[in-house]
Structure 1
Amino acid sequence: MSDGGIMVLDGNTLRSLHVSLPEDRVTLTGAQVLDFAESEASQSLFGISLPPHLKSSALRRINIDGVDDDTSFRRTELSRDEASRKLSDYLSAIADVLKDNPLAVSILDGNTLRMFLEDEDDFAMIAENLFTDLDTEDKGKISKSEIRNAVVHMGVEMGVPPLEEFPLLNDILKKHEEEEGELGQSQFAELLQPILQELADALAKKHVAFIHKIKIVNGSEIRKVIMSAVRKLITKAHGYGNRNLRASGHKHSMEITGWLVDFTFVKIAIISHKPLQVLADEKKLNDVIAKALHGKHKNDQKSTEIIRDFLEKNGKELGLPPSEANEAVILLYDAVFTDINSGKDVSLDEDESRKLVREILENFAEQLEANPVYCDLDG
């Protein structure tokens, strides 16, 4: 467990999950299949309640889109084989959604609270800091009712779940709020200790999985844009009569009359020695490239500077984290552009400039895959 610490759920555990329908069922309704899949997924993901947006996105991926489709499917009677296929498809879809948009969670099981309670110095410091924060009038006394605010103020980082996520915490607090009065610092610490001990014991029996409001940018959206361009490339290559696709190098590569398309998910590269003008209709990628290269910029700016300025302002539409999010994003941009040849001149021709933009986007995807960036959704 990782009490208070953040863990990333990216769907990998679901991909290795082997789930079978109950043996005694010959037919099942769509509702039973979906409920069973969601229950199994939840158990595999530390018992979290799957967020509505995660379930709806996964359902769309298996062609159940909107209230009408959902209602109709849930009423449908499925044979055991049909139900098994739909179960597998739905779990895979949930895993795919998590790959694109991972969840950041903390598992609260009382360990952090127990560590504080077992170390007298740590506990004394925490109690003192909480008391000082609550003693806004600097009287050396606070109302006994403030103990609730103190515990809630500790937050997930210190192992305390939100009240709405763990109603039992409210019951624990009520037991210690029955008498009115004021508390000095030592009295406050004496009251706080049994409350935290009881909470730690309760969490040990029933863990809480807390989902943080954090966006994890891992390069998945950038890869989608690049892969979309690759697919268009292949489709248009067929249209130009280049139908002779054959393996080249390894099972993830194909050669298309002058193009080598590398489909590995570690790095996606498009290498050309006879450029076909087939990416011109790949709207999203090419629009970004055009805007980056033809926007307003100073005459003496290098190509990399122009592209960086553009991506810092507009990269979000490609799945890049907001440049103002935090220091990690600044370091990400620095790492990407350090790897790119900073000496490239602004006068690069169109094809070279396009290659440079693609190279930068691929570099972002690699960096984010290796080191995802966390962005506060409330920011």
Structure 2
Amino acid sequence: MSGSLRSREREMGVVILDGSTVRAFVGDEEVFNRSVDERFAALDLNGDGVLSRAELRRALETFRLLETHFGVDVVTPPAEVAALYNSIFDQFDLDRSGTVDRDEFRSEMRRILLAIADGLGDFPLQIVLEDDDQGSNLLQQAVDLEAAKTKAAASGK
């Protein structure tokens, strides 16, 4: 087995999730925008109101896109890594300005989450989500929103 193992210090949680949960989260404009805006602000390290390639890449690296199997990293040539991250940045940078503003970030996160919802379909699945330090896991927030709505409905509020 090539590659290196990285220790996982973060905790994991198991949630039940389906496409309707994610679609409801995206459809709740206020909650969705607040959640995505908080994530955007956390990524905007220099506070200039836009994400640079370096800021977005730093965030993408936390997703471990090049990980193939449970913590084992693939040895990928640097040119391929750069091409992957540049391609993803280009998806976010809708106006080709060289930066990603809050509206572009919202738009792409909406598109990504709706694609995840479509992929999940309507059958509930158990999914392991990694807890993050900032509470910014959008799928976890979708589950939390559904749980809050269910609890409110059950208590008659």
What is the TM-score when the length of structure 1 is the normalising length? 0.21
Larger radius of gyration between Structure 1 and Structure 2: 1
What is the TM-score when the length of structure 2 is the normalising length? 0.45
